[in-house]
Chains A and B, each alone.
Chain A
Amino acid sequence: GQQLNQSPQSMFIQEGEDVSMNCTSSSIFNTWLWYKQEPGEGPVLLIALYKAGELTSNGRLTAQFGITRKDSFLNISASIPSDVGIYFCAGAQGGSEKLVFGKGMKLTVNP
């Protein structure tokens, strides 16, 4: 089936630093979503992208839908300790409502 390659798999950063992560696929996706999951909780939707080239912000988070429609990027600026968690990308192809998830990027923020 379709796979989303998410990188890096983990990051350790200092509070205040910016962090970038990306998600790539060999197939075209029409929707890209970014979720954050904290321990013992379900994934929480952060940003949804529906158009190639779209750049969307949500507070300190900015995500972009790649022009080729095969990738997406998420940036977090001025990280804070509560940014800790696992960030997942997810995509849907064509008219499908079925999301394919990446394996996640575990973020650790040192105060």
Chain B
Amino acid sequence: DARVTQTPRHKVTEMGQEVTMRCQPILGHNTVFWYRQTMMQGLELLAYFRNRAPLDDSGMPKDRFSAEMPDATLATLKIQPSEPRDSAVYFCASGSTAPITEAFFGQGTRLTVV
């Protein structure tokens, strides 16, 4: 059963700490998206990659967020330093080249920054 795997599922951290979220896309998918979901803003696209290269990270706060794909089976989203306003559910989604907008979502990482 192919699925996007995200770890950890839950993370509670203190303000100022570094947070790393990981995502394993579906095997064979060449595009990976990072979304953030909050009650106020809903689902927002943070960044996305094609063939491990970043295509767009305009939705991501550059000063504290970074996203990478060390290899085709791993995508990471880091926050350093974390702030309470970063508390949200972070979703990774992956898709193949066509039709690319049919992204398949992971179960998310629920981040709480206290």
Which positions in A face B, CB cutoff 8 Å? 31, 33, 35, 40-45, 48, 50, 88, 90, 92, 97-99, 101-104
> Does B105 lie within 8 Å of A97, measured CB to CB?
no
For B102, what are the chain A residues with a Cβ–Cβ distance below 8 Å?
A: 33, 45, 48
B25 part of interface (Cβ distance < 8 Å): no
Contacts A42-B91, A42-B108, A97-B31; A33 near B101 (Cβ below 8 A): yes
Whether A99 pairs with B42 at a CB distance below 8 angstroms is no
B43 close to A (CB within 8 Å): yes
Which residue on A lies nearest to B50, using beta carbons? A97
Hey, what's the 0/1 contact readout for B26-67 against A, CB within 8 Å counting as 1?
000001000000000011110010000001100000000000
Residues of B within 8 A of A42 (CB): 4, 91, 93, 105-108
With A42-B93, A48-B99, A50-B99 known as contacts, the answer to whether A101 contacts B104 (CB < 8 A) is: no
With known contacts A42-B91, A42-B93, A43-B43, A98–B56 Cβ distance under 8 A: yes
> Across the interface, do B93 and A97 meet the contact criterion of CB distance under 8 Å?
no
Task: List, in ascending order, chain A residues with CB within 8 A of B44's CB.
Answer: 101
